[in-house]
């Protein structure tokens, strides 16, 4: 996005998402069935995320990284230039 604050306002109003985390360059918004991460343009690849029930499922894909929200994930290229993030949330119930 161009502006984190403006994007948070837009998605909060349009999709009724609650802002869980917000920094100058990144925000995480949620409701009951949507999780949306926003980053400033050029800071992160466009991607979809697949939530994994265990850390082992992420580690099967590759060496994961830990994120500031506590999640752990691995990014994989699908061969067509799209990124898939395999993500695990250790402190949250699935």
54-57: which pairs have CB atoms within 8 A and are 24 or more residues apart? Answer: 54/88, 55/88, 55/90, 57/86, 57/88
pTM exceeds 0.75: no
The per-residue b/e assignment along 41-55, b for 16 or more CB within 10 angstroms, e otherwise, is eeeeeebebebbeee
Q: First and final CA of the chain: distance in angstroms?
A: 29
pLDDT for 69 equals 84
pLDDT for 82 equals 84
pLDDT for 94 beyond 70: no
Residue 30's pLDDT band (cuts 50, 70, 90)? very high
Residue 43's pLDDT band (cuts 50, 70, 90)? confident
């Amino acid at each position: 996005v161009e502006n984190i604050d403006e994007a948070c306002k837009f998605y909060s109003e349009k999709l009724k998402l609650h802002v869980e985390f917000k920094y100058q360059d990144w925000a995480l918004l949620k409701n009951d069935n949507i999780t949306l991460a926003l980053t400033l343009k050029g800071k992160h690849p466009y991607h979809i995320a697949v939530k994994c029930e265990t850390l082992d499922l992420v580690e099967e894909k590759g060496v994961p990284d830990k994120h500031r929200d506590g999640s752990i994930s691995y990014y994989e290229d699908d061969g067509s230039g799209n990124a898939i993030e395999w993500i695990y949330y250790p402190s949250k119930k699935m």
